[in-house]
Copies of this chain bind each other. A is one copy, B any other.
Amino acid sequence: MTSAVLDQTFVQWRGAQQAAVEQALSGWVPLDAPAGLGEAMRYAVLDGGKRLRPLLVLATCEAVGGQADAAMRAACAVELIHAYSLVHDDMPCMDNDVLRRGKPTVHVQFGEAQALLAGDALQALAFELLVPGDGSLGDAMSARLCRLLALAAGADGMAGGQAVDLASVGIALDQRQLEAMHRRKTGALLQASVTMGAATGAVARDTLAALADYGACVGLAFQVVDDILDVTADSATLGKTAGKDAAADKPTFVSLMGLGPAQTYADNVLARAHAALDRSGLERPGTLHALADWVAHRAS
């Protein structure tokens, strides 16, 4: 399946939600932060990316009949965490990358110090969004979302996965180790997108467990396909530097198992994502099914 044959209803939903997320982010990422910091933050966040994490939050909220304004704040908060991680990850002391979303990376555009600070400020802003000053989300919702986001972003989640990634250059990980790294590095935030979406509504325990499984499978599918695209796509299509994992001697699903088996593995993980939704008991899981297909069959 390619995006050309994706359900048109989904394609329309996706476009509308991406526009809504862009508008919300533009309203929340400050124009007026001092000394150019706001400009760097907005450059890092606006006008780019697939907004996969926000879409997962919003689709899950819809599937569980959750609170829409809480979901939009959660969607933007996870995207801010994702955006800050890209800014820091691209810095010279990390991946030293110059191209992101088809544009110069933040440190190339604004300098390393400003990139460091912009990332730091974006992380703080993510939590700020989850506790609006007017209390409109309700304290219970704010607290729940803050906890899910903090756990996904921290040492046991994304930041921990980055540390493993750093330590793995030139090391042959086995499949279990590679999966464990990605469960943290990209999986934790993708899964949190789903569980935060679920947290905007009232969800039975079994449904929440199935949604968490779905989120984990989408996270893994995302990473395997990322590894495949790093080998098969060019930089112009990706909007970021292609072939960089191999150049950096980083372990990937492709380097571990080869291109064909990696594709088969991605197909299997996608099937598990669909199966998790099938046992979720949700009445309207259609958009979540379509999102999983999109993740697994995307071209960039």
Interface residues of A (CB under 8 A from B): 30, 33-38, 41, 84-85, 88, 91, 93-94, 111-114, 116-117, 119-121, 123-125, 127-128, 130-131, 133, 135, 139-140, 142-144, 146-147, 149-151, 153-157, 159-164, 166-167, 184
Contact = CB atoms under 8 A, between A and B. Distances in A.
A34 B163 contact: yes
A155 B124 contact: yes
A155 B123 contact: no
Contacts of A88: 116-117, 120
A119 to B, nearest CB: 7
Contacts of A93: 91, 111-113, 116
A116 B123 CA distance: 13
A116 B143 contact: no
A135 B35 CA distance: 39
B146 A37 contact: no
B159 A133 contact: no
A119 B124 CA distance: 12
A112 B94 CA distance: 8
Given A124-B159, A125-B155, 17 more contacts: A30-B155, A30-B156, A33-B156, A33-B163, A34-B155, A34-B160, A34-B163, A35-B167, A36-B163, A36-B167, A113-B166, A114-B166, A128-B150, A131-B144, A139-B140, A142-B146, A143-B146
Copies of this chain, complex-wide, total 2
Contacts of A144: 131, 139
A123 B123 contact: yes
A120 B115 CA distance: 13
A200 B131 CA distance: 17
Contacts of A149: 127
Contact of A35 (B130, B154, B166): B166
A109 to B, nearest CB: 14
Contacts of A143: 131, 135, 139, 142-143, 146
A53 B265 CA distance: 50
A232 to B, nearest CB: 28
A139 B143 CA distance: 6
Nearest to A131: B147
A153 B184 CA distance: 25
A117 B163 contact: yes
14 contacts: A33-B155, A33-B156, A34-B164, A34-B167, A36-B163, A37-B159, A94-B113, A113-B166, A121-B155, A131-B143, A131-B144, A131-B147, A139-B142, A142-B147
A146 B146 CA distance: 8
